[in-house]
Amino acid sequence: MTIKNLKILTVTYLLLPNLIFILTWLNPLWATLGFVVSIYSFYSFVVNTNQSNEDFSALRVKQIEFSTILYLAFFTLVLGVIFSLGNFGLGQSYDYYKHNTIVKELIEKPFPVVYEHETRYGILKEPAILGYYMAYYLPTAIICKFVGFGASNILLYLWGAIGIFISFSWLYFLSPKNLNIILVFVLFLLGATLFKPYLYAHYLLKNVVSLPMIQYFIWPSGISFNLINIHYSPQHHIVTTVGVFFVYYESFIRKDNRFVLFFVSLLLMWSFLGAFSVGVIAGFLVLYRRFSNFFSVANLAGGGIITFIMASYFLAHFQDNRFSGFIWTFADISGYLYQKPFISILALVGYCIFEVGIYIFFMYKLFASKNSYNDKLVLLGFCAAYFIISPLYRIGFNNDLAMRLISTIKILIFVLLMFSYSEMLKSQVSTKFLRLYMVLTIILGIFSSMTTLKWEEVPSIAESPNINKADIPQEIFLQYFAKKNSFFGNYMMKQTSEK
């Protein structure tokens, strides 16, 4: 598999559920418009990719051999059992209650899924539609409408495994040539960047030292793209990892932005906040590259129309006391920030110094000494600023937004750190010290993942309750519903009532 094959596979995988949504949820006018521009942009992307000259000097290999593909596939399938994708494995975390319930709704009900008289919790007093990140569920649901529930769990498992395999393939291509790939994969899965084993200390100290605000700022970074992230939210993991890898390669390495907007628009149906955070990185790189090839018809037409459709869909979300749909509101943090302002400030300063400062300093020393690293220095400065600003969202805005912002930038920093580590092995920095630090990082990463993961028995998709029943798990929050009486519901969606 060449990098060209991987790029086409990536976009095909992300596009498929978007096409299902466009063709089955939208009225004929919008379905036709969305389908035509999607296919046109995808065709243009495939033609351009096949004709392009890829920068092989920046990649670990020119192509992934078939034997390596088999290893990656086997590795992915085994991890899929451990992560319990589709409730097919060792058990699942609490988020899979909602995953399985949403899949069941999509299988049983006609598209679009409408709730005309839903009054659960006494909150929904007007017609609603299912309004969640459905790209992870739609392919399974559309197949099971014809074959029944029997294949649902295994299909969801395979669909998630394909996404994780794609992210691993990108990781393989983008890893430095002189690093042990097993080490890179282990660090990636544990979310362990080179200079942050201290971070996991809060798992060890949480029963000894009670500083809520420190955990308040550190928590989202601690779970970024490690085992627990894949375990309870594979859709977010797929978007953030694949999204960052693709944008980094296209915009930063190849310096070509002609399909970046189209690509980011495909992420919205997977994870709106994940797409937003990848979009921040993409936006910076587009500006930095001075809009190189950005204004192509395929990019603006496909990316613009799909973004408009998905933004209209998510803008229809209901608001509750924790979320407010697309525009997040002030979040209650139990008054701790105001009662303990000194500790809160120390927590934020400490977070910035330790989480950003330590390894950013080492990376700067490396990159600043070589003219060829000027571009990476700029990207490094962007990462540092992004990292310092992102936890501020937790003061006044939704926690999930902060988590997605931090998790996404951590993946980009991970790529840069691997290259800095590769260079450090040839520098004056003690290799023994680095190896000892890596061992400590891995040990703490394993400890944090194993103490955070919680496996529990969850009903299969077929056994999950329906949303309009009283025994629905509390995991189905109001954020998973959208208003039918909205611009999307009235002017873009097919007019179908619940049966």
In the block, residue with structure tokens 């459905």:
134
Q: What is the pLDDT of residue 46?
A: 95
β partners of residue 26: 493
Three-class SS state of 89: coil
| 164 within 8 A of 238, measured Cβ to Cβ | yes
β partners of residue 483: 128
CA dist 289 and 38 (Å) reads 25
Q: What is the pLDDT of residue 141?
A: 93
* Terminal Cα-to-Cα distance of the chain (whole angstroms): 46
Please, what is the average pLDDT of the chain?
Answer: 78
Residue 92 φ/ψ region, left for φ over 0, alpha for ψ in the -120 to 50 degree band, beta for the rest: beta
Q: What is the pLDDT of residue 226?
A: 61
| 132 within 8 A of 480, measured Cβ to Cβ | yes
Residue 329 pLDDT level (bands cut at 50, 70, 90): very low
CA dist 160 and 80 (Å) reads 8
CA dist 33 and 5 (Å) reads 28
Residue 266 pLDDT level (bands cut at 50, 70, 90): very high
Q: What is the pLDDT of residue 332?
A: 40
- The answer to whether residue 415 scores a pLDDT higher than 80 is yes
- The answer to whether residue 223 scores a pLDDT higher than 50 is no
Q: What is the pLDDT of residue 394?
A: 55
Residue 14 pLDDT level (bands cut at 50, 70, 90): very high
Residue 338 pLDDT level (bands cut at 50, 70, 90): very low
What percent of the chain stands above pLDDT 70?
73
Residue 362 pLDDT level (bands cut at 50, 70, 90): confident
CA dist 377 and 381 (Å) reads 6
- The answer to whether residue 26 scores a pLDDT higher than 70 is yes
Among 85-94, 221-230, 258-267, where is mean pLDDT lowest? 221-230
**How many Cα atoms sit within 13 Å of 475 on the Cβ side?**
16
Among 52-66, 176-190, 239-253, 432-446, where is mean pLDDT lowest? 432-446
Question: Is the peptide bond between 139 and the residue preceding it cis, with omega within 30 degrees of 0?
Answer: no
pLDDT in tens, 391-408: 665 554 455 666 777 778
**pTM above 0.85?**
yes
| 70-94: average pLDDT | 77
Looking at per-residue confidence, does 213 or 167 come out higher?
Answer: 167
| 98-117: average pLDDT | 86
Looking at per-residue confidence, does 222 or 376 come out higher?
Answer: 376
- The answer to whether residue 323 scores a pLDDT higher than 70 is no
Residue 7 is encoded by which pair of tokens?
Answer: 């790029």
Three-class SS state of 483: strand
Highest-confidence segment of 201-215, 277-291, 333-347: 277-291
Residue 238 is encoded by which pair of tokens?
Answer: 């797929």
Looking at per-residue confidence, does 479 or 63 come out higher?
Answer: 63
pLDDT in tens, 145-190: 999 888 888 898 899 899 999 999 999 999 988 888 888 888 888 7
| 4 within 8 A of 52, measured Cβ to Cβ | yes
Sketch the domain layout of the chain as residue ranges.
3-492
Q: What is the pLDDT of residue 303?
A: 93
Instruction: Name all contacts of 448-454 with Cβ < 8 Å and 24+ positions apart.
Output: 448/190, 448/200, 448/203, 448/222, 448/226, 449/190, 449/191, 449/226, 449/227, 449/228, 451/203, 452/203, 452/223, 452/227, 452/228, 453/93, 453/227, 453/228, 453/231, 454/93, 454/94
Looking at per-residue confidence, does 202 or 446 come out higher?
Answer: 446
- The answer to whether residue 274 scores a pLDDT higher than 60 is yes
pLDDT in tens, 455-491: 677 778 888 878 776 555 555 666 778 888 889 988 9
CB atoms within 10 A of CB 62: 11
Highest-confidence segment of 39-48, 288-297, 367-376, 435-444: 39-48
CA dist 36 and 448 (Å) reads 47
